[in-house]
Amino acid sequence: MEDSLHQDAIETQNNADLLISEKEIMSSINIVARDIKAVIGDEVPVLLCVMKGGLMFTAELMKRIQSPLELDYLHVDRYRNQTQGSSIHWRKEPDIDLQGRLVLLVDDIFDEGYTLQELIAYCSAKGASKVLSAVLLKKALAKKHTEIVPDFIGLTISDRYVFGWGMDYRSYWRNLTDIYAVSKS
């Protein structure tokens, strides 16, 4: 089973369409960081990396914010190595007390909004004074699924299955420095 998944991942990457280059990603992160800094001003936010996909974006973003901040993470998943999501499954809650804090949730991609909606509600229930969200990618979907919209968006993409830059294809390829879309063929 593992060998067939591995082989499928290799074939998928070999046939994938390059969607966004590392240079474009870095440029968008510079803009997002500037916009975040303008909003947070002198506040000391808690950056919550949404694992695993938000890891690379969080690492690059926090280098560019250039002000005091605290870093923590939470780990939830909806996809569980599948291409379709289901209900949220909590793996790890943050260690930092969010009571009275400005929280910035940092995630890889926003598609239907269910995960972000639940994470904002979680942070609010933990007493956060304000919850902001930043995503590297936002899918342009024809149908709106939630009222939630990220506060900061790096790039908008078409509705395709993407991987690389922290996002996976069946648990593989998070380490790619460009973003690819699974081939339509």
The string of pLDDT tens digits covering residues 104-162 is 999 999 998 999 999 999 999 999 999 999 999 999 987 777 889 999 999 999 999 99
Q: From CA 103, how far away is CA 141, in angstroms rounded? A: 27
Q: Which of 122, 109, 125 is nearest to 165 (CA)?
A: 109
- Distance, in Å, from the CA atom of 72 to the CA atom of 95, rounded to the nearest integer, reads 7
Tell me the two tokens of residue 42: 């002198």
Tally of CA atoms within 13 A in the half-sphere of 164 that contains its CB: 20
| Span 88-106, average pLDDT | 96
Stated pTM of the model: 0.91
Span 20-65, pLDDT tens digits? 999 999 999 999 999 999 999 999 999 999 999 999 999 999 999 9
**What would the mean pLDDT of 92-97 be, rounded to a whole number?**
97
